[in-house]
């Protein structure tokens, strides 16, 4: 049984150990140590990285009670030194403990309980059992502010096994189902006592073992096997990024600590690039973006009106064709889907069946249309023609569109469609 040093000493990043077994994991060696400071993936928290005996650790998994350290190269033997990537470990400590603070804020303010947690490479998420309509922007800001208040109060944190008597006195957010290790955030305790207990490596916030007195206010208590800082202040800050519907509940995306700084820097860079593109100051970006969007809508409407006019003109010319389906390959700008549709609808309005095609951006496009009422099913004809182009398409018996990558087959596709469609004027 491997001694799990990370539970008692989350700040331990260099340790000596002995390799007791080597396993094969997907064709790569995985070593089992007699003691380890590497955290294995679990509880929504990713595994640590680092080295064992100078060989890079690519993953750490808890499999049937065995902690497997997957290695990039050949497994060393005997006594080794393990080194945990501290930057990754501390980032995970910030994110994981920030989640605890954010979860307790949502629970206390809005009775929204956390169902699951995921610590991702860029952002983190918690899934709440409250519907998203109950957690609008103002509620998200309130929860964020409450979590940051706990961060900036720099409160002591302890993570340890608790006796049944202590468990009975703790206001747990969720019942402990795997052991009695509880992460507790509290006020009213001596800071020096907590620091001395934590620095001893025992992981106990109460060095006397006396438990919780009446003067101590428990602000959060949650069963957890993850790594956590000694004090809430080490989380740095908690920033809610967004919330979205998650089943019948809400998924909240957030970042903590150094990730807040990185997210702010990235957002600032994006604002600067967008401002430069729109030639305005960052503070003027919302108004400039709104103006640009309005201008694009107006120009799109103008372009659509021009296409309709061009389509009508083309229909006037093509409608004089002999009886039967009007089969034609149109040139730009009518060769794009919108142009083909405008011309096909104009032909159908003149009582003709239209089988039109064109090439736009090296892709063949089709649009088939006919007058309303009885007549051939142009949707079926188009699906068959689009298949000849290596693509797909469909629609109603009266109007259908599709496309495919084989532009060279456009003529063959139109000829095939002509054979399967009859014009109502014949």
In the predicted structure, residue 191 carries a pLDDT above the cut 60: no
333-351 pLDDT tens trace: 999 999 999 999 999 999 9
Tell me which residue of 237, 214, 136, 228 sits closest to 185, measured CA to CA.
228
The candidate with the shortest Cα–Cα distance to 239, out of 101, 87, 425, is 101
Residue 204: predicted pLDDT: 34
Which domains occur in the chain, in start order? 3-84 (2.40.30.130), 90-264 (3.30.980.10), 301-420 (3.10.310.40)
CA 13 to chain centre: 30
* Comparison of pLDDT for 175 and 141, the residue scoring more: 141
pLDDT for res 79: 96
Q: What is the pLDDT of residues 212-237, one digit of tens each?
A: 555 568 899 998 999 999 999 999 99
Q: What is the pLDDT of residue 425?
A: 44
Q: What pLDDT does residue 194 have?
A: 38
In degrees rounded to 5, what are phi and psi of residue 244? -150, 165
Q: How confident is the model at residue 192 (pLDDT cuts 50, 70, 90)?
A: very low
Q: Phi and psi at residue 229, in whole multiples of 5°?
A: -75, 170
- Backbone torsions φ then ψ of 84, nearest 5 degrees: -90, 135
What pLDDT shows up at residue 211?
52
Per-residue model confidence as pLDDT tens digits over 238-258: 999 999 999 999 999 999 999
Q: Are strands 354-360 and 326-329 parallel, antiparallel or unpaired?
A: parallel
Residue 277 has pLDDT above 60, yes or no: yes
Q: At 110, which helix (H) or strand (E)?
A: helix 86-110
Kindly report which listed range (8-17, 94-103, 167-176, 334-343) carries the lowest average pLDDT score.
Answer: 167-176
pLDDT by residue (tens digit) across 11-59?
Answer: 999 999 999 999 998 899 999 999 999 999 998 999 999 999 999 999 9
Please tell me whether the overall predicted TM-score, pTM, comes out greater than 0.75 for this model.
no
Written as six digits, the tokens of 21 are: 């077994």
Query: What count of other Cβ atoms lies within 10 Å of the Cβ of residue 405?
Result: 12
Here the tokens at position 262 are 């990185």
**Which has more confidence, 322 or 56?**
56
**pLDDT tens-place string over residues 412-421:** 999 999 998 8
Residue 260, pLDDT above cutoff 60 = yes
- Percentage above 70 pLDDT, the chain: 92
């Amino acid at each position: 049984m491997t001694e799990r040093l990370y539970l008692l000493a989350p700040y331990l990043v260099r340790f000596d150990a002995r390799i007791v077994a080597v396993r094969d994991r997907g064709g790569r060696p995985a070593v089992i140590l007699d003691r380890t400071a590497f955290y294995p993936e679990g509880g929504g928290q990713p595994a640590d990285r680092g080295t064992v005996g100078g060989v890079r650790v690519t993953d750490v998994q808890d499999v049937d009670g065995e902690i497997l350290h997957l290695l990039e190269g050949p497994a060393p033997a005997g006594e080794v030194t393990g080194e945990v990537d501290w930057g990754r470990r501390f980032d995970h400590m910030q994110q994981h403990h920030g989640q605890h603070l954010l979860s307790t804020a949502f629970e206390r303010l809005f009775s929204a309980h956390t169902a699951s947690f995921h610590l991702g490479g860029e952002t983190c998420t918690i899934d709440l059992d409250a519907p998203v309509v109950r957690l609008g922007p103002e509620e998200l800001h309130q929860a964020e502010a409450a979590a940051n208040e706990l961060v900036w109060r720099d409160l002591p944190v302890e993570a340890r096994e608790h006796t049944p008597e202590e468990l009975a006195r703790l206001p747990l957010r969720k019942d402990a189902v795997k052991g009695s290790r509880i992460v507790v955030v509290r006020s009213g305790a001596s800071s020096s006592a907590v620091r001395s207990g934590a620095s001893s490596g025992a992981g106990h916030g109460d060095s006397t073992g006396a438990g919780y007195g009446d003067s101590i206010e428990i602000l959060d208590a949650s069963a957890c096997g993850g790594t956590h800082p000694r004090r809430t202040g080490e989380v740095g800050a908690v920033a809610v990024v967004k919330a979205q519907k998650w089943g019948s509940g809400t998924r909240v995306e957030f970042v903590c600590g150094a990730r807040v700084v990185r997210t702010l820097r990235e957002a600032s860079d994006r604002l600067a690039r967008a401002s430069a593109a729109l030639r305005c100051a960052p503070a003027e970006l919302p108004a400039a973006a709104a103006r640009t969007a309005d201008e694009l809508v107006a120009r799109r409407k103008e372009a659509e009106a021009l296409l309709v006019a061009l389509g009508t003109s083309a229909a006037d010319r093509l409608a004089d064709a002999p009886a039967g389906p009007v089969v034609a390959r149109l040139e730009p700008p009518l060769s794009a889907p919108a142009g083909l549709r405008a011309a096909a609808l104009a032909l159908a309005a003149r009582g003709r069946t239209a089988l039109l095609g064109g090439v736009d951006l090296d892709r063949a496009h089709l649009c088939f249309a006919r007058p309303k009422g009885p007549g051939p099913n142009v949707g079926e004809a188009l699906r068959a023609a689009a298949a000849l182009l290596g693509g797909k398409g469909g629609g109603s018996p009266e109007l259908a569109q599709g496309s495919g990558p084989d532009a060279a087959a456009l003529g063959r596709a139109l000829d095939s469609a002509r054979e399967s469609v009859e014009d109502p004027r014949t």
